[in-house]
Amino acid sequence: MPGKLKAKIVAGRHLPVMDRASDLTDAFVEVKFGNTTFKTDVCPKSLNPQWNSEWFKFEVDDEDLQDEPLQITVLDHDTYSANDAIGKVYIDIDPLLSCEAATVISGWFPIYDTIHGIRGEINVLVKVDLFNDLNRFRQSSCGVKFFCTTSIPKCYRVVMVHGFVEELVVNEDPEYQWIDRIRTPRASNEARQRLISLMSGELQRKIGLKVLEMGGNAVLGYLQCFDLEGESGLVVRAIGTACTLDKLSSLPTAVLPACNSPSREMKESPLAQAPSHGCRSSHNSPVHSAAAASARLSQGFSVSVPTLIFTGMGSGGSAGKDGGPLKTLLRQQTQSALEQREFPFFTLTCFPPGFLIHVGGVVSARSVKLLDRIHNPALGNTRSYKLLDWNSFTADEPETRDAWWEEIRQEIKSHAKALGCHAVVGYSESTSICEEVCILSASGTAAILNPKFMQEGCLDSYSEHSRLEDPAPPSCGFCHIPYDELNMPFPAHLTYCYNCRRQKVPDVLFTTIDLPVEATVMGKGSLIQARLCRLKKKAQGEVNATAISNLLPFMEYELHTQLMNKLKLRSMNALFGLRVQISVGENMLVGLASATGVYLMALPAPGGIQIAGKTPSDITYEQHISNMQKKINDTISKNKDLYEVHPQEIIEEVIGSPIPESRQRSRLFRSHSESSDEVSELDLSHGKKDAFVLEIDDTDAVEDIHSLLTDAPMPSGFYSCNTEIMPGIYNWTSSLQMFTSVRVFRLNNVNLTNQGLNKIFNDLCENLLKSLYFKLRSMVPCCLCHLNFAVAVPEEELIQVAVTAVAMTFDKEQAQENFKANMEKAIMKVISENEEQLQFPLELCTETPAPQPFSPSKGTGHQDGGGIHTSARATSVDYSSFADRCSTWIELIKLKAQAIRRGSIKTTASQEKGSPLPEGRSRSLRCMRPFPSSTVSVVKMTPLSFLPGTRIIKYLGIINMFFIRETTSLREEGGVSGFLHCFIAEVFAMVRAHVAALGGNAVVSYSMKECVFMENPNKNQAQCLINVSGDAVIFVRESEAEATAAAPQTSSMQNLSGAAEANA
Amino acid sequence: MSVELDVFVGNTTIMDEEVYQFWLDGYTVNDAVKVRMEGGVLEEYEASTDVLLSDTMDQFRTFQMCERLLHTPAKLANQLLFQIPPHRQTMLIERYYAFDNAFVREVLGKKLSKGTKKDLDDISAKTGITLKSCRRQFDNFKRVFKVVEELKGPLVENIQQHFLLSDKLARDYAAIVFFANNRFETGKRKLQFLSFQDFAFCAGQLISNWTVGAVDNMVEDMDVDLDKEFLQDLKDLKILINDKDLLDQHKSLVCTALRGKTKVFNEMEANFKTLSRALVNIAAKLTNTKDVRDLFIDLVEKFIEPCRSDRWTSADVRLFLTYYTNSARTLDTFRHQVTWDRYMDVIKSCILKMYHD
């Protein structure tokens, strides 16, 4: 009996009128936990009852504490008939079970009814007394902290990353039980809400147990999903990354040792931009070996879909001499750490500097499954030929679902291996279900990780050790290829890294993670989306599943092509946060890939897009092509200005020698790769040596071009990305607006072609974005961050798109000032270390001195490069002199970067104090807070893991809520839009109330993971299910924090996280 | 293809003041979109009609959901459904309770009953204000009236406290409540030249000088009901016109003082007795509820119109009323100075406010 739960019902307000005669309500409250129920007295004839109840005490197992929610029901007392329910509040008491999180839950909760929505509020106090349980065989896992955040939480330090944890639980869906035919919709909805709440509690507890087994104390990047499989049941599954976290004391010594590595410094350094050499681009979308085709038909129906691996690659000489042995060494070390793990997966997307050593590319796997059709458990046993019947035997036998995911994860693992990587980061799983067909998807980024985070104890000694032998220049290290270039799984272009010139990099890099803090980018990032619809014949069972699995590889290929085209159109060379969703409907598949494009300094500049016709004889046709070409070229140059991406082309021409050389060689190696070089060299109109060729005869290409050109430009003052941080924006101001927008489109035209459908879907997404920009126009200049699109095909002819994102304002003027000031600082530091007083040397011209420190080294680099080339032609390669040069050059950059870093911190600090704008804003906010009559505290919500201009000082626990709302008076509630608008607002309100009751003032890493909307306008009915999650936190404003903390502490806090720093 | 469902919900509720005004004014979504398009938002943000339509619909829906809360503005501050910054809440309330002068002139002094509500169609047609907007304004008047009707304490403060309105707007509502309660006639053709603000000013004067609250500030309806005792006392002023000596004495005092100071001296001298009789008769009749209702029409017919036909300027009126009031005090046999001042101060400021074209 290790826990005592105490609850007290204080008061209610704004209750609905339940007695028409008196226009009042006789309210009382039932408090239920497990099987125990307490009741308050009836508070007669009041809409604002004061119960002030005693403390209701529940003595319970901590296992139950984790699984069960506290259920509070508000009722209207009726002497003669049954009491009417007003509504319910479910309180997840998990946050009270961890000693570091909240200690009491106290506040106003909206009273929620699944039919009427919010009906008044109730003030509740909840406390838990936990007794220590030393039982080794306990089933509870109290105290394990859960975070939705996919990075290291701001006030913690990672002692050790243990790795992947997963679990799933299944049950019958109450909506499909026989009893549902006789009970009211309200009872059915409440049964469902309660069941899911129980299941997620159980799931969390089980995962917690696994974490404890591994020796961890926390789960980061906790991702929980529901699969509503209809008649075959309800699956709640979760994945996460087990870690051992240490609460940071505010002492500066608690800073991660890795923070001192120069890698951090590179990020802010404008001078660290290496001049681009040569230019090359290619399009690789090799279909990676159709892994493990369905040999499992004996186990029912299972199709494994050939999977694509997105990477930019190439081949090249033997850098192996330099990097090879070290790489193997590294691999050995990490392998030992990761070997014993079944799945070396990490759900994190943002890592401490030095964690990622190399990134291979995106790995993904999809599998189409048929859900079991048997819903009557009695029948299951007799039909022995069915092996998929997990629920025909007992309702909670998750074996099959486990096996399915196991299969997919194995595939992901093997893909990662093929890329020479031992780990997968930014890993996530999802499903799309339509009737009995289910697509399981998993994706992540293959990577090589630094083993020091995997081994306990030797953290400090190791970090020094590894830094000594780590050959990669840190800022570009992650771009370097992890695989053996002589033994690549598919053809690709490789060049020497444009930053360090020592190792090979691919020409494009696709990842599912956030931009590493150490990455050097040019200009700003941009949201890039590929959208695609494919019609499919209506079918049943295995035929349907086969049809879908046949379509999938083509969809992936096309999405990839679109992404690549759009990337080139923006002159960018890398994608971060890539998320490919494929949703299945009865008669179509919808694919949506979103990512944030950036220009990585370490990667080669992308070529343009070249349109080529197959029949050059026709003059009008040629004109058409040249028109298109012109349009594309215009768009490219416009985009370059918009995103401030200006690769230094002139320098390329001068220094081009080492790279073209390697290109020649690479051409020898990749005999079977496309011959874009020859074609593009004919084109002199475009500045680039080689471009990406689109052949227009191809109908697909026409489509591609069309979709390229119809992407409307963003209105000025707006930027957008789907990652945590927008590359190129570092000076966020504090105002932010989280929002959810949902649209459902009906396709009235039955005879649609694929093209027509594509255009509709494309327009739909574009219009939605346009609407968002318009809505948020008052926030300009602003950036839409973490734009998360979710597509679904809820019914035939319906497409649903749900977007959740946050709009954050930034200071445009300050951006330039900062940049200039940084530059100036750097230069001043380099020239004379003593001139530290210069704060804003804006009047100085920044352009001319910038390249100067580089020019001598460039010159020598060029000469040496030439030298290498002659030797490179011979089979034996000697890099020593070049490497020598490079390393001195790197030293120079490091030095400068350090200088810049020091400078920049000072600049931001001084500007925080100096600039009147953010100060004024925060002050005015503070003035507003003590508004006399308001009892509601403001709760901010954001899908990001941080709030600009603030410091998170405490994590209060995970918020994971599931709501159902139903109506039988759809028209009266303003139609489907009115219904959903109200419901989403209610969900926000309930999330805010729970956070406020925990004592928090914000939700970070918020996401709406499920929004299932069903309507039946003929019956005037609609139903919607929403699942949201996030981390409740307490934040303080940076300026307030500064007032309390000493200066060195703040700077150490700034070092803690790249994200926070990027926003300082 | 058609958009079946389209919603946008922000954690902080987004509200465009311009769109809010359209909603308050009772525009349909389509009309609001049309006006917004003409307003040029489109060109600025390269938005299409669809975008504007979607935005307008969304906001109208939000306002509709908020409307319930706006009926009891105190709720807006501690409801949980919408997260609205306090200054925005203030804006929402203030605008929701704002009214059109043209509309309020139509209902001012009328009983706020269902009967009047039925006439809103006509008012809407006459004023050009949409019926929806008329209904909102009428319901606001009625709601405020109902709430403050039975409250103790100062009217303006009560309104401010319950509806969180600005001082100015609370005063206007006090005037509306006061007029509705006493049913002052304001609709006659002869009163058409008077604006709501003229009446509101007069109401303010009456409230602070003639009501029960002017003497005792802890009674029910103190600011709504006129002080019966005072009205009774007003009958005593009749001596000023009934006593011939007193009347002549009064006239000569005023004439001596004004000689040479005004261009309309002769007209003034000729009309003195008529005007004085008019003012004192109005005072003496105020014990009848019916005559209270006609206070403003009487002032116009019996004082303002004669002066205006003699082309008095407002400076002339001011001069006359000042000396008329003051010299009565110096009359030896006149014993009702206090009542006289309480009456004339209000009458003087009301007439001066109302004396315009």
Query: Quick count: other Cβ atoms within 10 Å of Cβ B107?
Result: 25
Q: Is the pLDDT of residue A919 over 80?
A: no
Of A846 and A339, the one with more pLDDT? A339
User: Is A710 in the B-facing interface, judged by CB distances under 8 Å?
Assistant: no
Q: How far is CA A523 from the centre of its chain?
A: 22
Chain B residues touching residue A110 (CB < 8 angstroms): 80-81
Alpha-carbon radius of gyration of chain A? 29
Ramachandran angles phi, psi of A478, nearest 5°: -70, -20
Could you give the strand order of the β-sheet that contains A234-247, starting from the edge strand earlier in sequence? Answer: A145-146, A218-228, A234-247, A156-171
Burial of A535 per CB tally in 10 Å (0-12, 13-18, 19+): middle
Average pLDDT over residues A580-597: 92
Burial of A376 per CB tally in 10 Å (0-12, 13-18, 19+): exposed
Closest CA to A123 of A789, A936, A925: A936
Q: Chain A: give the shortest CA distance to residue B208, in Å.
A: 28
Q: Which of residues 167-206 of A touch B (CB under 8 A)?
A: none
Chain A residues touching residue B12 (CB < 8 angstroms): 737
Mean pLDDT (chain B) is 88
User: Is B40 in the A-facing interface, judged by CB distances under 8 Å?
Assistant: no
Say yes or no for a CB contact (<8 Å) between B77 and A936.
yes
> Interface pTM (ipTM) of the complex?
0.89
Average pLDDT over residues A775-797: 89
Say yes or no for a CB contact (<8 Å) between B12 and A939.
no
Q: Which of residues 1-20 of A touch B (CB under 8 A)?
A: 13-14
Say yes or no for a CB contact (<8 Å) between A121 and B80.
yes
pLDDT of residue A383: 31
pLDDT of residue A680: 31
Q: Which of residues 81-100 of B touch A (CB under 8 A)?
A: 81-83, 85-87
User: Is A272 in the B-facing interface, judged by CB distances under 8 Å?
Assistant: no
What are the structural domain ranges in chain B? 17-78, 98-226, 229-354
Q: Is the pLDDT of residue A610 over 60?
A: yes
Which secondary structure element, helix H or strand E, spans residue B308, and what is its range?
helix B305-309
Of A499 and A408, the one with more pLDDT? A408
- Alpha-carbon span A865 to A651, nearest angstrom: 14
Q: Is the pLDDT of residue A645 over 50?
A: yes
Average pLDDT over residues A963-989: 93
Say yes or no for a CB contact (<8 Å) between A743 and B12.
no
In sequence order, the 6+-apart residues with CB closer than 8 A to the CB of A353 are: A256, A258, A259, A261, A263, A264, A474, A516, A517, A518, A1058
Q: How far is CA A205 from the centre of its chain?
A: 24
Average pLDDT over residues B321-336: 85
Say yes or no for a CB contact (<8 Å) between B77 and A934.
yes
Long-range pairs for B332-340: beta carbons < 8 A, 24 or more residues apart: B333/B243, B333/B245, B333/B246, B334/B239, B334/B240, B334/B246, B336/B233, B336/B236, B336/B237, B336/B239, B339/B230, B339/B233, B339/B234, B339/B236, B339/B237, B340/B237
pLDDT of residue A694: 60
Chain B residues touching residue A978 (CB < 8 angstroms): 61, 64
Say yes or no for a CB contact (<8 Å) between B80 and A992.
yes
**Which band of pLDDT confidence, cut at 50, 70 and 90, is reported for residue A713?**
confident
Q: Chain B: give the shortest CA distance to residue A47, in Å.
A: 13
Q: Closest partner residue to B54 among A118, A121, A771, by Cβ?
A: A771
Of A640 and B197, the one with more pLDDT? B197
Interhelix angle for B244-258 vs B314-330, to 10°?
A: 130
Say yes or no for a CB contact (<8 Å) between A988 and B83.
yes
Instruction: Locate A884 and state its tokens.
Output: 């020598």
Say yes or no for a CB contact (<8 Å) between B11 and A108.
no
pLDDT of residue A698: 56
User: Is A108 in the B-facing interface, judged by CB distances under 8 Å?
Assistant: yes
Chain A residues touching residue B55 (CB < 8 angstroms): 771, 774-775
- Alpha-carbon span A90 to A103, nearest angstrom: 18
Average pLDDT over residues B348-357: 90
pLDDT of residue A540: 84
Mean pLDDT (chain A) is 71
Q: Is the pLDDT of residue A888 over 50?
A: no
Closest CA to B7 of A1019, A771, A305: A771
Average pLDDT over residues A33-39: 91
Ramachandran angles phi, psi of A71, nearest 5°: -110, 120
In B, minimum Cα distance to A988 occurs at B11
Say yes or no for a CB contact (<8 Å) between A989 and B80.
yes
Instruction: Locate A885 and state its tokens.
Output: 């040069």
Q: Which of residues 207-266 of B touch A (CB under 8 A)?
A: none
Q: Is the pLDDT of residue A381 over 80?
A: no
Say yes or no for a CB contact (<8 Å) between A744 and B3.
yes
Q: Is the pLDDT of residue B10 over 90?
A: yes
pLDDT of residue A477: 77
Task: Give the pTM.
Answer: 0.80
Average pLDDT over residues A571-592: 91
Average pLDDT over residues A477-485: 77
User: Is B338 in the A-facing interface, judged by CB distances under 8 Å?
Assistant: no
pLDDT digits (tens, 9 = 90+) for A490-532: 666 788 888 777 788 888 889 999 988 888 888 888 899 999 8
pLDDT digits (tens, 9 = 90+) for A121-158: 999 999 988 776 555 556 677 778 899 999 888 888 88
- Alpha-carbon span A596 to A288, nearest angstrom: 24
Can you name the residues that pair with A5 across neighbouring β-strands?
A58, A128
Of A600 and B221, the one with more pLDDT? A600
Burial of A827 per CB tally in 10 Å (0-12, 13-18, 19+): buried
Query: Quick count: other Cβ atoms within 10 Å of Cβ A626?
Result: 13
Counting residues of chain B whose pLDDT is more than 90, the rounded percentage is 41
Residues A518, A264: contact at Cβ < 8 Å? yes
Q: Closest partner residue to B14 among A742, A775, A982, by Cβ?
A: A775
**Which band of pLDDT confidence, cut at 50, 70 and 90, is reported for residue A614?**
low
Say yes or no for a CB contact (<8 Å) between A775 and B164.
no
Of A648 and A213, the one with more pLDDT? A213
Say yes or no for a CB contact (<8 Å) between A774 and B45.
yes
Average pLDDT over residues A452-460: 51
Counting residues of chain A whose pLDDT is more than 90, the rounded percentage is 25
Q: Is the pLDDT of residue B62 over 80?
A: yes
Burial of A510 per CB tally in 10 Å (0-12, 13-18, 19+): buried
Instruction: Locate B253 and state its tokens.
Output: 């005092």
DSSP 3-state assignment of A419? Answer: coil
pLDDT digits (tens, 9 = 90+) for A337-380: 555 567 889 998 888 877 888 888 899 999 998 887 434 443 33
Can you name the residues that pair with A336 across neighbouring β-strands?
none
pLDDT of residue A138: 61
Chain B residues touching residue A746 (CB < 8 angstroms): 1-4
Chain B residues touching residue A739 (CB < 8 angstroms): 8-11, 14
Q: How far apart are the first and last CA of chain B?
A: 59
Say yes or no for a CB contact (<8 Å) between B81 and A740.
no
Counting residues of chain A whose pLDDT is more than 70, the rounded percentage is 64
Chain B residues touching residue A769 (CB < 8 angstroms): none
On the question of a cis peptide bond just before residue A660, with omega within 30 degrees of 0, the verdict is no
pLDDT of residue B330: 82
pLDDT digits (tens, 9 = 90+) for A554-577: 899 889 888 888 888 888 889 999
Say yes or no for a CB contact (<8 Å) between A739 and B11.
yes
Of A100 and B161, the one with more pLDDT? B161
Instruction: Locate A1034 and state its tokens.
Output: 């307490």
pLDDT of residue A487: 65
Most confident stretch, A211-220, A670-679, A807-816: A211-220
Angle subtended at Cα A466 by Cα A465 and Cα A469, rounded to the nearest 5 degrees: 95
Q: Is the pLDDT of residue A65 over 70?
A: yes
Chain A residues touching residue B48 (CB < 8 angstroms): 767, 770
State the sign of the Cα–Cα–Cα–Cα dihedral A567, A504, A307, A693.
Answer: positive
DSSP annotation of A364 reads E
Average pLDDT over residues A228-257: 73
Say yes or no for a CB contact (<8 Å) between A989 and B75.
no
pLDDT digits (tens, 9 = 90+) for A929-955: 333 445 678 999 999 998 988 889 889
**Which band of pLDDT confidence, cut at 50, 70 and 90, is reported for residue A183?**
confident
Q: Chain B: give the shortest CA distance to residue A641, in Å.
A: 19
Q: What is the 3-state secondary structure (H, E, C) of A554-616?
A: HHHHHHHHHHHHHHHHCCCCEEEEEEEEEEECCCEEEEEEEEEEEEECCCCCCCCEEEECCCC
DSSP annotation of B303 reads I
